[in-house]
Structure formats: C-alpha cells, structure tokens
Amino acid sequence: MFEENPNEAIRSDFTTIEHQEAHQQLVDEGLSKEQAARSLTALWTLKNNADKVCWAEKQEHLENLQRGEEEENEQRQQALRDKEEAA
C-alpha cells in the first residue's frame, strides 16, 4: 500500500504550477485563490493523517508477524534440542 513512510511526507505548496489544475477547479467553483490553496492543504493533511494511521497499523502487523516467526523458530530449536537430549 505504502512505499514510503507518510510520517516523512512533505506537504506540497498548492499554489505552484504543479497543482494548478486542482487549484483552478476550486477557483472555478467560487473559492478565492487563497481559499483554494487552504482547501487543498487541508485535504492533503486529512489524507496524510489517514495514511499515517494505516502505516502504523501495517507496521504493527508486520512486527507481530515477525515476532510470531521468531517464536516459532525458537520453539523448533527447542524441540530439536529436546530431541537431541533424549537421544
């Protein structure tokens, strides 16, 4: 889902040419240029906050999987030691 950590994302400047189309759509709907830029910034922030929550959940899930694998590996190692001691 995410290739980069959204906690490290840098908010764009929504007044630049890169965002002109989205900015212009809002201006065409009756917002001022400043309101359009603030709206785009607010939308970016909402999306980024949601991405941060998803990222944290994904990281927690991956850590749980890794912990489970480590525990299974330790149990296999212990079973082998027990088997060797019994032999």
Distance CA 31, CA 27 (A): 5
pLDDT at 59 (0 to 100):
94
Does any domain span residue 43?
yes
Tally of structural domains, the chain: 1
pLDDT at 2 (0 to 100):
62
pLDDT along the chain (87 residues), means of 10: 86 93 95 96 97 96 92 90 84
- The residue range of the domain holding 34 is 15-86
pLDDT at 34 (0 to 100):
95
pLDDT at 1 (0 to 100):
57
Does any domain span residue 7?
no
